Structure 1
Amino acid sequence: MTKRILGVFAVVLLLAAGAGCTSDDPAPQAGPDRISLGVIPIVDVAPAYLGKAKGFFSKRGIELTMVPEQGGAPIVQGVLSGKYAFGFSNATSLIAATAGGAPLKAVANGVASTGRPGRDFSAVVVRDGSSIRTAKDLAGRKIAVNTLKNLGDTTIRQSVRKDGGDPGHIDFEAMPFSAMPAALQAGKVDAAWVVEPQLSEALTQGSQVVASNYVDTAPDLTVALYFAGTALLGKDPDLVARFTAAIDESLAYAAAHPDEVRDIIGTYTPITDVVRTAMILPNWPHDINRGSLQRLATLGTEDGIFTGTPQLDQLLP
């Protein structure tokens, strides 16, 4: 009898427990998608940092971590290897990768030139007193770029070509953007391709602009893109859509709030107050300038940067 009573009691407890988990109760909420984004610590990616600070990613269920790299090429490799879910890379790196068969797809615009000669966020500079006066004088000189056989090579050669110089005889040396102003002042290189904030840093040290390489390449050049592997687009299109929406909101916010852009840059790369104030900010449009990317593809092919035929239809959304 005692065993029978205990058995009935156990059944009652089970029923009571079950009654507390009805279909009306909300399902347990999954945590945010924790993803990493490969970036370069320059002005270009300020919108991503600003968007994270403003909650544009978290409100879409994304916990974003930015990981700095020296250039676009290692970020491409990081996305392909699964190290990063998304990446930020210059267009030449992405064109080169897809020309070689890499399964990548742009998901949002990254950054664009201002289109203003002498007032762009990218330039080739020389130290004060240099014999290099114009872009054609760069022929035969040693020039610092962040990575070899990439965007810097192509756009600098175009500046030299446009100014009547020989673009085939330039000695490029790879180094981080952050190291370029000091290397230039020390005479380790004859010129340096710098972008903000290192451009303003170099100018405050007396350096002079001799070429606006982005402007010389194409009007309103689309310089870089946010991208992902095509495998992620097929596996989790919802995550890709949420990330893209967050980036688009970040780009629009950055374009409308330049003072906040200047402040956020100091949180991920060292800059002085003088540089922060002096920086030339890029454009952050929503739309990708396909014509300018075709120009990069044509020039890159002429310069022998690509191992295959550029596939813009594959790369662009």
Structure 2
Amino acid sequence: MHTTSRRNFLVLSGISALAAAGCGTASGSGTRNTTTLRYQGSAGQVTPPELAESLGYLGDLELEWVGNTISGPQDIQSAASGQTDFGGAFNGAVVKLASRKAPIKAVVSYYGSDKQAYSGFYVSEKSAIRTPRDLIGKKVGMNTLGAHHEAMLDIYLKKHGLSRSEAKQVERVVVPPVNTEQSLRQRQIDVAVLGGILREKALEAGGIRKLFSDYDLRGPFSAGTYVLTERFIKQNPETVRTFVTGVGKALDWSRSTPHDEVVARLTEIVGKRKRNESADALKYWRSFGVSAPGGRIAERELSVWADWLSERGDIKSGRVSVAGLYTNEFNGNHATKGS
């Protein structure tokens, strides 16, 4: 594992999964349950499943880390192709992948926006950018295209009257999250999308101001979900139930536990996993941003992005049945009215 590149490992994992299926080892009876889930993580950060495992909410279910990713679309594509067992992304990316007939299903929310956890679009304090129209001809740095941040930019521009042709003149540039602040300060980009730990760190350093945020646009909302393939769910229903319920409990724990205690737990997790990374940025952690109890999914959290993708021409209207794209069936956490 240590001497194998992440790319090679994922390829080999995919080949192994296909070989196993070809040999008839996978049972469609719904009784076979794996006790290991392969996944991708984030350097210097802790995901809700990792927190759930640390808190003992996954029981004897183990997480097998196969590498890191900064791209939600790539992460769910890896899950859809069998290179990993679950992946997480912006709900619009989930809808888009489903429109290509990928046999995936969203099972639990894992990140969102609230007063403490949000993605902001920042400019330097001396920037002449003050209004949406000032963005025409400017570069906006974000972690990936066709996902959460680009959607928020489109909504912001449309809300303030920019035409589609004018909005296209706002250049969207892919920048790794850890380099986004530096790129803004070095004037390689005009606007930087910063969220979570990286946002807090940049604000502490000063010299930047917020143009707008996703929370400003939409208020509190869950923005991304973990997906698994329908085949995996059918073969491993109890594993899925343990995973989904455990992640939901971890999200609830993070909201109800004193902030310092949560940060201490996250820091401990990073220290124990020994991935040659720093936990220093975790002192800026504020929230996962998921307000729904147990991370339960609401249909509107997917349908709004299906509409956005249709307006962009990325998918045909009615191409995806949003109601069939997600399920709360495996979430053992308390359901509230309408969830």
TM-score of the superposed pair, with normalisation by structure 1: 0.79
Question: Aligned-pair distance for 1:224?
Answer: 0.5
CA distance in 1, matches of 2:308, 2:86: 27
SS in 1 for 2:77: helix
Which residues of 2 match residues 213-224 of structure 1 at below 5 A? 213-216=214-217, 218-224=218-224
Question: Aligned-pair distance for 1:40?
Answer: 4.4
The 1:230/1:171 distance shift into structure 2, 3 A limit, reads same
For 2:54, the equivalent position in structure 1 comes to 53
The 1:220/1:42 distance shift into structure 2, 3 A limit, reads farther
SS in 1 for 2:167: coil
Unaligned runs of 5+ in 1: 1-30
Query: Does the aligned pair in 1 maintain the 2:255–2:287 contact within 8 Å?
Result: no
Instruction: Indicate which of 299, 305, 308 corresponds to 1:290.
Output: 299
Query: Does the aligned pair in 2 maintain the 1:86–1:228 contact within 8 Å?
Result: yes
CA distance in 2, matches of 1:264, 1:134: 41
Question: Aligned-pair distance for 1:137?
Answer: 2.5
CA-atom RMSD, angstroms? 2.7
For 1:11, the equivalent position in structure 2 comes to none
CA distance in 2, matches of 1:113, 1:316: 20
SS in 2 for 1:239: helix
* Residues 205-231 of structure 1: per-residue CA shift (max 9 Å, x gap): 322110112541x34322101110111
CA distance in 2, matches of 1:41, 1:207: 25
Which residues of 2 match residues 194-273 of structure 1 at below 5 A? 194-205=194-205, 206-216=207-217, 218-257=218-257, 258-266=259-267, 267=270, 270=278, 272=280
Which residues of 2 match residues 157-196 of structure 1 at below 5 A? 157-165=154-162, 166-196=166-196
Which residues of 2 match residues 145-160 of structure 1 at below 5 A? 145-160=142-157
* Amino acid of the structure 1 residue aligned with 2:137: G
CA distance in 1, matches of 2:37, 2:288: 27
CA distance in 1, matches of 2:311, 2:303: 12
* Residues 11-68 of structure 1: per-residue CA shift (max 9 Å, x gap): xxxxxxxxxxxxxxxxxxxx9812222344586x6432222221222x2x21113442
For 2:61, the equivalent position in structure 1 comes to 62
CA distance in 2, matches of 1:202, 1:234: 44
* Amino acid of the structure 1 residue aligned with 2:100: G
Query: Does the aligned pair in 1 maintain the 2:263–2:285 contact within 8 Å?
Result: no
For 2:37, the equivalent position in structure 1 comes to 35
Query: Does the aligned pair in 2 maintain the 1:181–1:201 contact within 8 Å?
Result: no
Query: Are residues 1:312 and 2:327 paired?
Result: no
Unaligned runs of 5+ in 2: 1-32, 328-339
Question: Aligned-pair distance for 1:240?
Answer: 1.0
Query: Does the aligned pair in 2 maintain the 1:221–1:292 contact within 8 Å?
Result: yes
The 1:176/1:261 distance shift into structure 2, 3 A limit, reads farther
Question: Aligned-pair distance for 1:261?
Answer: 3.4
For 1:143, the equivalent position in structure 2 comes to 140
Question: Aligned-pair distance for 1:281?
Answer: 5.4
How many residues align? The count is: 280
Percent identity over the alignment is: 20
The 1:305/1:248 distance shift into structure 2, 3 A limit, reads same
